[in-house]
Amino acid sequence: MMQEIDFVKAPVFTSPNSLVLICTEKPDGATNLATVSFFTYLSYEPPMIGFAMGRKSFSAQRVRETGKVIVAVPGRSLAGIAMGCGTVSGRDMDKAAAFRVKLQPVPGSAIQIPEDTKVAFAASLRETVETGDHVLYICDVEKVYGDEEKEALFAWNGFSKIAPAVKK
């Protein structure tokens, strides 16, 4: 029987949920990493994706300032790191160095991504939409890179656990 539940409990019912790293270029040229579960595909033609971040997020600020982002789906080895990247700001910290994330270049971009990445979307910001306590970033996908050998991570149990999906 259906029962009314709090909105914040709904992600527990829809697990697993998408999990991505928002990769942006910091003013000093370093790459910043921020973990986000509010991610979705928006359009095939033209190719578009969207993600939502808190209004005061440093990564969100960098996307607005540079107009560029790489949305990376992290691989299995980044489970603990992805949780850490979602709990601290990169404003005054180099998260890649602090969490010992090995980065790799992306052709045509100053932004790097973790070596253990399943899929990476190099994108340009099209527009933003204020959505309550978050801002929705609507992006045009310029290039997509993938590695079939990697295993993608997902958020589970209302974002309290990060792990790959179990294939049956």
In the chain, domain spans: 17-164
148 neighbors 12 (Cβ within 8 angstroms): no
Of residues 11, 44, 50, 33, the one with CA closest to residue 137: 50
Cite the DSSP H helix spans in the chain. 10-13, 58-66, 79-85, 95-98
The amino acid sitting at 77 is S
12 neighbors 158 (Cβ within 8 angstroms): yes
- Residue 69: helix, strand or coil by DSSP? strand
* Domain spanning 17-164, CATH class: mainly beta
pLDDT tops 90 at residue 88: no
pLDDT (tens digit, 9 = 90+) per residue, 91-132?
888 888 888 999 999 999 999 999 999 999 999 999 999 999
Question: What is the reported pLDDT for 12?
Answer: 85
The pLDDT-based confidence of 14 (bands split at 50, 70, 90) is confident
pLDDT (tens digit, 9 = 90+) per residue, 32-87?
999 999 999 999 999 999 999 998 999 999 999 999 999 999 999 999 888 877 77
135 neighbors 129 (Cβ within 8 angstroms): yes
Neighbours of 83 (CB within 10 A): 18
pLDDT tops 60 at residue 168: no
pLDDT tops 80 at residue 155: yes
Question: Tokens representing 118?
Answer: 């399943």
The mean pLDDT value for 21-27 works out to 96
Pairing of strands 20-25, 68-74: antiparallel
Q: How far apart are CA 133 and CA 94, in angstroms?
A: 26
CA 120 to chain centre: 10
Question: What is the reported pLDDT for 167?
Answer: 62
pLDDT (tens digit, 9 = 90+) per residue, 121-154?
999 999 999 999 999 999 999 999 999 999 999 9
pTM of the model: 0.93
